[in-house]
Structure 1
Amino acid sequence: MRSAKGQRALRPVLCGIRTVWDAVGDGAFFCPGCGGDRNYRRLTGRRRLTVLGIPLARRGETGPVVECAACCARFAPDALDHPTTTRFSSMLREAVHTVTLAVLAAGGTTSRTVLETAVGVVRDAGLDDCTQEQLYTVVEVLAADAGPGTAADPTAEACGPALAIELHEVLAPLAP
């Protein structure tokens, strides 16, 4: 007994439209179908009118698509805009480091306990080579930056304009 797909495969198709795909690129992406980091192929296609399986006439080009190598599902190219889990975890590490710097810049680095706690938080996020001296130096450099801040931006007032820009750059991609 054949499956329904097998029975359909045996039926002759008198006429139809067939797409011939050409691979134009590849890489890694987060597959919405599989739910994980997978390899992909970027494809462009040409549609053809077929009669008895023989291509007779061109029917135009298709837009580019992204095909998952694991599940073979096809997605629009904007699926490549979503970060992979590896990239997302590095973005979270950078965000923890930047938020820690902002908290230290706003609250001060005079206490050794505060610096030890900040280093512990940054190390727990995955930056194992972070030291108290590095955090202290970066906070002092950011505090010395007295660039033009605006009174309308409370973040720039609390931690300085350079750190406010850095916070915006790091946290904006993580926001929905």
Structure 2
Amino acid sequence: MEWKFALQLAGVALGLLYLWLEYRADIRLWIVGLAMPVVHGVLYYRSGLYADCAMNGYYVLAGLYGLIVWRRTPRRKGAELRIGRTPKGLAGALAGVGVLLHAAIYLLLARFTNSTVPFWDSLTTALSIVAMWMLSRKYVEQWLVWLVVDVVTVGLYLYKGIPFTAGLYVLYAALAAAGYRRWLRQIG
């Protein structure tokens, strides 16, 4: 079996499980989120998507952080971490962080790699960093950031010749819209 195909199948299976758990706001999403970046990291590196590859190192760290936050919050505050809206002042700061990350990652890719898609690779990576942090805080708007990431990523991955993974991101986009609606109803 060709390496791209095998990695895509494993990544799609893990990605679907992760999405289902995220949709349900199930803490086990963080455990699946520790295995999935290994598979995707190798796939992206071998496909020349260097920022996406590096992003998977962040996903491992963010997964550990998210698991700790979701597990410790009930003990620290006496109540489960609840789904909520991103505070208005924080939303602007997160947008600023996203812009700065995009610029920094773009410059790294453009100057130090042979990336053929530095703008789009750095955009999806920067937005993913922001969205992952928002997920760790259970902010409902994280779904909207993921929706943008997913739509851009579909085109990027089709361009780079990894169509099964692009298909996974079509599902991610649909579930991001559904997850947003579900979490809006669950705001506590």
**TM bucket by the smaller chain?**
under 0.3
Greater RCO (CA < 8 Å, at least 6 residues apart): 2
The two structures have a TM-score, normalised by structure 2, of 0.23
The two structures have a TM-score, normalised by structure 1, of 0.24
Structure with higher Rg: it is 1
